[in-house]
Structure 1
Amino acid sequence: MKRLLLNITRYFLPILFVSYLVSFTCFPHVHVVGGLTIVHSHPFKKGVVHNHSTAELLQIHFLSHLMTDDVAVVFALSLFTPFFLSLLLGRSQYARYHSLCQGVVGLRAPPVIHFSIL
C-alpha cells in the first residue's frame, strides 16, 4: 500500500505543479468588485465574460494569501534547519554501492601514468 501511494505521489505532485504553473502563467485575469481589484488565474474562454460569487472570491483570497506572525516562522525554521542539516551531513554514513558479486565492492581509481623526473 505504501509503495502504491509513493508511485501515485511520484507522478501526481509534478503533474499538479506543472498544471498550476501553466494556469498561473497562461490564464491570469482581473475582476473589479466594489472598487477592489482581484487578480487571479484559472482556465477560461477569452472574450466571454465570467463572474465569481462572493464565496468564490473569498476562497481565492484565502488560498492566495498567507499571513503569519514571527513566532510561527521561527518555530518552522527551528524544525526545518536540524532536519535539513541531518539530511546533508548524515547522507554519507548510509551510502550503498551496487556490486555484481555479493560482498565485493569493485570501486577503483582511474588509471594513472606517473612520470618521474630524475
Structure 2
Amino acid sequence: MPPQRKNEVKRLLLNITRYFLPILFVSYLVSFTFFAHLHVVNGVTIVHSHPFKKGAAHKHSTVELQLIHFLSHLMADGAAAVFALSLFIPFLLCLLPGRLQHTHYHCPYHGVVGLRAPPVIRFSIL
C-alpha cells in the first residue's frame, strides 16, 4: 500500500474514532439513565438497562441473564492490581521529570516571582 493511501486510511480511522467513541459513551449514559430496571429471578435481584417499552412486561432467558452478569462484573485478584501498578508507577516517574523541566513562570523582573495572594475582605465585629 502506498504511503499516501496509508495516511488517508489512518485519517479516516481517526475521524471515525473521533465521532464514534463520544456517541458510544453518550448512548451508554442515556441507556443507563433512562432505561435502568430490575428483575427478580429466584430471589436474586438483577439490575440492568436497555431500551424497552415502559409498562410492558418483558423477560430474559437464562442465557441472557448470564450474559448480563458476565458483562456487568469485573473480577480481578491482587496480582492483577500489583501488575497494573508495577507498569503505571514507572511510567508516571518517567513522565513527571519531563513535565517539570518545561514549567516556568512569566515574571516582569528577572529572578523575582511576582505571585500575589487572592483578594481578601476582613470584617471587624468590634
Unaligned runs of 5+ in 1: 95-108, 113-118
Q: Deviations over 1:39-84 (max 9, x none)?
A: 1111111001111111110010001101110010111122123334
TM-score, structure 2 normalization: 0.66
Aligned equivalent of 1:31:
39
User: Aligned AA for 2:27?
Assistant: S
| Equivalent-residue separation in structure 1 for 2:69 and 2:53 (angstroms) | 22
Moved over 2 A (4+): 80-94, 109-112
- The amino acid of 1:43's aligned partner reads P
In structure 2, relative to structure 1, the CA distance for the partners of 1:22 and 1:84 (3 Å cut) is farther
1:1-118 alignment, distance < 5 Å: 1-90=9-98
Structure 2 unaligned spans of 5+: 1-8, 110-126
Using CA pairs under 8 Å that are at least 6 residues apart, name the structure with larger relative contact order, 1 or 2: 1
Q: Which residue of 2 aligns with 1:102?
A: none
Aligned length: 98
| Cα root mean square deviation, aligned | 2.4
